Chain A
Amino acid sequence: MSNASSAPQHSTELPNGWEMVVGLEVHVELDTKTKLFSASPNRFGDEPNTNIDPVTLGLPGALPVLNKQAVELAIRLGLALNCTVQPSTFHRKNYFYQDMPKAYQISQYDQPINIDGFMMLPGDVRIGIERAHLEEDTGKSTHIGGTSGRIHGSDYSLVDFNRAGVPLVEIVSRPDIRNSDQARQYVAELRSILLAVGASDAKMEEGSMRCDVNVSVRKPGAEFGTRCEIKNVNSIRAVGKAIDYEARRQIDVLESGGTIRQETRHWDDSEGRTHTLRTKEDADDYRYFLEPDLVLLDPDQEWIESIRASLPMLPAARRAQLATLTGANKESESVYVIVERGQDDYVSAVAQAGGDAARALVYVQQAFAEEGATPKVAASDIATLTQMERDAKITATQAKTILSEMVANGGGDPVAIASAKGFEALDTSAVEAMVDAAIAQQADAWAKYCAGEEKAMGALVGAIMKASQGKADGKVVTAILQARRAK
């Protein structure tokens, strides 16, 4: 499973009744063919400074022309996040840096394309989305020499402008997140949505999805505390760790009588702590003003509705559908995992072929981690396998063995495999006889078990399984032993 894991990893409680207030700013690179304002390819990993042009380099006289596909993907994402799509404008955010070719970034400011959305997290937690706006990415600097990999103290810097002008959407949540679990769930769910609507490949390791985290602490019901923004949080795991670290740091400061300065901090993943990057006083004055080289972006309603109509079923709806089909909890790990892998349609195909949906969910989760959305094994064969187990024709252990073989061979008839291996579940009367024999042979264990020592059951089950050469169903054996003791 990827780092997008939604598996519960409960964050520890904050001390003394403190509560954290967290908002996330997530930048995602849109999966367009070309850049936001020019025709150069939007492609990761190419030779440095090959995907460039006069607009990308900010050459004198070059003018931006907005990429329609970027607008479409931004709208897709906005609609998937339940946002209102509105007429929008672009501003210039002015600052000098060597990887910012024009010395300003074109970004949406007070009139973003998507506003007022929300996302639901497990437990019916609603996280507001303030805005999801379009902007251009910067180039990438590599600082050579020095120790820290930062520009300060380096000998020289290399700049690659391939990334400059790549379309980004910045998704800004409301400060509705109250613990690091929710923050991780939010990022994971956002990633799933991005992938589902095809807006981005959302690879945090390649930087196509990047998180900035705003953290403050307060006593419940009090006003929001002063917040710090944490940058360089580059994995979902780091999101959780950085938030937990930062909240505790702020609590320590406040409890020892200090005050929190509003500042930007840097997450050092190897040290597991945050450092001051710059204080509010050092912050640039970006001198935003309306970008005079672009005009109002006013997508017509018909286009917006056609985009809405083309949206796929979103992960939340697919999880609900899979949960209904399989009887599993929609917030269970298996449901999340299957939908994230895109294998819910496959589980549904197994069920349609007459298979047991609940067992199919388990099989697919366990056996198809490497398979992607369309496993090679025919859904009808998995259906047959679930039926064999459900009807006690084979044991769970045997089913697992057959499944492994099917996966290894890219398919196979489970009936044929079972018979080739001599698998058949013993009928209950045969098992009863073996239980009698085991109790007679291991009187000590039986006595202990009857006296309430649950561990003693292991020796009995082991003996029975050995006697049956694995053909007895472990669950059946356990049930018989429990029934005997209860008499």
Chain B
Amino acid sequence: MTKPFATVVDIAADIAAGKTSAVEVLEQHLARITERESDIHAFNLVTTEQARATAQQVDADIKAGKPVGPLAGVPVALKDNMCTRGIETTCSSKILEGWKPPYDATVVTRLQQAGAVMVGKTNLDEFAMGSSTENSAFGPTKNPLDTSRVPGGSSGGSAAAVAAGFAAASLGSDTGGSIRQPASLCGLVGVKPTYGLVSRQGIVAFASSLDQVGPFTHTVADAALMMEVIGGHDPLDSTSLPQPMPSLTSVLGQGVKGMRIGRLADMPDGCEPEVLARMDAAYVALQAAGATIVDIALPSLSYCLTAYYLVAPAEASSNLARYDGVRYGMRVETGDLHSMYGATRAAGFGAEVKRRIMLGTYALSAGYFDAYYGKALKVRRLIANDFAAAYEKCDVILTPTSPTVAFPLGDKTSDPLTMYLCDIFTIPTNLAGHAAMSVPFGTGAHNMPVGVQVLAPALGEQTMFRVAAELERAS
């Protein structure tokens, strides 16, 4: 019998050792879903029947002495922008409502091969565009720690599912902070891997050059295990790195002695004082564990938000053009092709998606390309240069994940710009293609969790996880 909110590592170990069964673990999670899902709305779809069948198969395999994967029997939830064969995949958009992919995303296949039990598809800001999960066409998700507050976004459903004990772990996608920010707001570990470390095949694209899939978990060790399962080269994704997946579970105990931890000399305005206090505590903790703190500068940081809101919408305007009513998803019938396009997209997309499609279309248009999209690409190079210079002085950089703790529902929905500011610390990592993760580190205002973000250079996951594990020990 596992405790409520058991970790991935414990569940997998207990099931493998016969202390509990996959079916028993699943039923505990399903029971919590029955109890609280109507208040939280973490899921677009709970796949109860498939989950029971998978759990029974896992138990049968274990009973028959067959070898099982490292996640055998672990209940996981998937953000509803990950293709699941024969199971509705909506991106929380009306335009894809009812669409069932004929194939699985590579990360889904890898979870299945590892023995994980998928419990459902989680809610998100429509097409992953947002920071609060309030942009879902199917209604917002609430923060399980305080249901008057948002869980963050865009992977808010995946964060809430783990925070509420509906799944032991979940997958989200992170284009500008969509894993790390909800992890921070829900008190979870959330990882944005190095671009190319985890396959994007089967992930419904938002901004292809920025999107990465990563896990939400309760612990750093769980995140390391999840990463080892989903990461590594995939020939179906041309941007997948050829490197083998580095071991992460084996480095967690190595500590941070002798490591150099970067601290932003110029902290941007807008952070809650409680958040800054937790940052100070994090530096002290790492120093106590043998690391040194060095001040670093990221002069281009202030341009990143602007650059991101050109690059991401530009790619999105192209990626979302395929939702045209011709082949799948919603179609609003009219008299001719062009009005059908217009009517379908007008009815199918929500306001934030339309805003970004228009932004992106404009940024790529003849006569504006150089001034907007072209300049944004230059900022991408500048921030990469800034990071390169910083990483000569330090091994990782620590920042807050989010300037604030979880805010009340409806607080920022009327002003997109304040919502965009949620991602000020998370966006630079995506622009640079680097790794970053959020680790819970105490609480701030309203007793809500605060996350510390650990940033590492490309393929710096091992160092990043060592620091994260140290922060976890100290929290």
Report A's interface with B, CB cutoff 8 A. 54, 57-66, 92, 94, 96, 98, 101-104, 151, 157, 159, 285, 287-289, 292-295
Contacts and interface: CB of A to CB of B under 8 A. Distances in A.
A157 B340 CA distance: 13
Contacts of A102: 321-322
Main secondary structure of the interface of A (DSSP, over half): loop
Contacts of A287: 317-318, 361, 364-366, 369
Contacts of A62: 103, 201-202
Given A98-B326, A285-B365, A292-B239, 7 more contacts: A59-B101, A61-B202, A62-B202, A151-B337, A287-B318, A288-B364, A293-B205
Contact of B318 (A60, A101, A159, A289): A289
7 contacts: A58-B322, A61-B200, A63-B237, A63-B238, A94-B318, A98-B326, A292-B239
A60 B238 contact: no
A96 B321 contact: yes
A227 B64 CA distance: 76
B379 interface: no
A101 B321 contact: no
A281 to B, nearest CB: 13
A102 B209 CA distance: 17
Interface size for chain B: under 10, 10 to 19, 20 to 34, or 35 or more residues? 35 or more
A288 B203 CA distance: 23
User: 10 closest pairs, A vs B, by CB?
Assistant: A103-B321, A292-B209, A287-B364, A292-B208, A60-B204, A61-B202, A61-B83, A58-B322, A285-B366, A102-B322
A229 to B, nearest CB: 18
Given A60-B96, A101-B322, A159-B326, A65 B236 contact: yes
Contacts of B318: 92, 94, 103-104, 287, 289
Contacts of A96: 321, 324, 338, 341
Contact of B239 (A59, A60, A94, A293): A293
Contacts of B205: 60-61, 293
Nearest to A102: B322
B315 interface: yes
Given A94-B321, A287-B361, A292-B208, A59 B328 contact: yes
Nearest to A104: B318
Contacts of A104: 318, 321
B67 interface: no
Contacts of A288: 364
A293 B361 contact: no
A129 B341 CA distance: 39
Interface in B305-359: 314-315, 317-318, 321-322, 324, 326-328, 337-338, 341
Given A54-B102, A60-B205, A294 B322 contact: no
A57 B103 CA distance: 13
A104 B365 CA distance: 14
B324 A103 contact: yes
A126 B332 CA distance: 54
B89 interface: yes
Given A63-B200, A65-B235, A96-B321, A293 B326 contact: no
A54 B103 contact: yes
Contact of A61 (B204, B315, B361): B204
B186 interface: no
Interface string B78-91: 00001100000101
Nearest to B202: A61
A66 B318 CA distance: 20
Contacts of A59: 83, 101-103, 328
